[in-house]
Chains A and B, each alone.
Chain A
Amino acid sequence: MAMPRYTLTLWRIMVFIAALAPLGWWSYQVAINAAGPEPGRYLLLNIGQGILWMLLLTLSLTPLTKLTRWKGFTLIRRQLGLWTLAYAVLHLFCYAVFILGLDLSRLGSEIVRRPYIIVGMLALAGLIVMGVTSNKWSMRKLGKRWKTLHKIVYLVLGLGLLHFLWVVRADLEQWSLYAAVGALLMILRIPPIARQLPKFRQLIKRPHRAHA
């Protein structure tokens, strides 16, 4: 599918705006006092879910590319990956400021003592490693190892889901949905299944040809 360059630029700008929009919406809710009596926790929890959204969207790009061969999906991979990192940093910021009241000594002791926070911090560390090596220079420098290094995204997904599971108190519905989508995206990467994806494209395309 050939597309003019400006269309792809427009696409990337649209993705940027779409990824920024939830943060704007939540901030607006806080500003108009519609976020409840604990706005900090509102931001913390919503941004936390936002991380999973961004991560799952990032992970859906490879299967989508295989399915459609559209270049646009590959073009936004780095951007969505960096959005995942940005949301994760904001999530930690909310926790440190709104829950711990910037008591940094407590942040230290909480990280050591609470398994779900350790797991969350490990996931964040993984995102940071991928974030700082997401530039062209790092890709050149790391060569083949770059791809191996960025496989930690799968580990980050596992850690993120575990972190979320530990926070859930009494209803697993929401968590199960995220876990199911994550599992599906992993299944689509299993080589024999991944090889089938381009064939699906043929199936989708064929009827169009018949009409032509």
Chain B
Amino acid sequence: MTENPGAPVLELPASESTGERRMVINMGPQHPATHGVLRLVVELDGEIIVSVRPEIGYLHTGIEKTCEAKFYQQVVPLTDRINYLDPLSNNLCYCLAVEKLLDLEIPERAQWIRVLLTELSRLNSHLIWLGTHAMDIGALTVFLYTFREREEILRLFEAVAGQRMMTSYFRIGGLAMEPPLGWLDRVQAFIHGFPEKIDEYSNLLTGNPIFMNRLKGVGYLSAADAIALGVTGPPLRASGVDIDLRRDMPYSSYEKFQFKVPISTVGDTWARYEVRLVEMRESTKIVQQALDGMPGGAVKADAPKIVLPDREKMKTQMEALIHHFKIVTEGFNVPAGEVYQGMECGHGQMGYYVVSDGTAKPYRVHMRYPSFATLQAVETMCKGRLIADLVAVIGSIDIVLGEIDR
């Protein structure tokens, strides 16, 4: 193991590099270290990786086709099933795209709660990444600690959305409903203690010589390769590219929040670990700012033909009842056009491309998910390295198979 991250490919003895001793093995689709049903066809020369070919599609459910048969509002619950570890980011990206087509003004309070929840969702995603990544490397303890905090985040989701994982809390035009009384205090209590928890994970891993040796200098990815292969998010920033859509192309009032975007120029697996750890601290700050400055007001846009009315109104007012009935049975028409909404989710840049033909059902919905592109970089990161490094690399790019296969 070399300290130099840009270390060249390991030299092979001349007798072994003739290609005659190569072996092809299947890693997955039921391998515990692939985080789902990913199959990697790995060609080996001894213990050294010659090529890695990802074979995907085992989770393909045709969500993009399903979307075309649903009303716009019915697509929201489909989105959080794609990346089930970061559900609210999916909801947000889809809603933003449709709201762009509809030219809807979202109340400030709804935007701030969206930011708050999206950051909690990012923490959720990063906690699972940290726990499983460390577990793959052999540090089992951290998993128990991160899932302790994740459980609390899921309880917070459950309190607002009624669901732990498939939240569907963001709706076209705002939120499903106002968060319950005392919920913001619960978030405050959680976020107040969270930086200490990050210290706790860091104490378990950052100085741990086994963990360091497994990660440092492994899976090197240069900035040029990362850009060419479409890598985004923490792996891109760990390779020294300073881009974060939350800061650079803000959406949902992210421009009102102060946070740093962590960068590392090293580009190895360790750098990705460090970048994500700092990102968790920054997310904590964003949540704190959202709590401190939370504006009052409505959480739904004033658009009765698009947003479902409150229950109370629906039961007492004729107009509201009619709108409710119309939205549920016929949906609402969205002006023709095409939009692309990009955003920064836990794994990288997500994007929703929505094409409307003016009817109540989307003509085409396409999702760009970060893991799909990042997976292409695995071979570049692993070529010429030991097969044991492959596990560290897969862990460090933080993939979710649901979003790769869709």
A binds B: no
Residues of B within 8 A of A (CB): none
